[in-house]
Structure 1
């Protein structure tokens, strides 16, 4: 299963570094996107970016 991780670069609850270097733990495609200036709630704080990133990811993996 392809994985997309969207992480807020300014998240003070779960630091963006916590999602670095995890590719080896997944057998399928893994993509990590750090959203600069975004905190713990990317869907609220980057409501314009998140749907575009998700749609592009789903399109590129034939899931939509």
Structure 2
């Protein structure tokens, strides 16, 4: 579950928040949700719980720092 949330957060951060902050246009791209979610499951199987938590904390800190600049 944590990896699923983290990867969606990263996707929205990369594809929307950064572009809005930098004044870039948003592009409407159809996202295959099932494929994205399946890839999140595969990713979750490659990391330990501690690695997933660490990555989540790191991504959250990066996103938060960028949002506050």
Mark the structure with the bigger radius of gyration: 2
Structure with greater strand percent: 1
Looking at both structures, which has the greater relative contact order when contacts are Cα pairs under 8 Å and sequence separation is at least 6? 2
- TM-score normalised by the shorter chain: which range applies? 0.3 to 0.5
Provide TM-score, normalisation by structure 1. Answer: 0.34
Structure with greater helix percent: 2
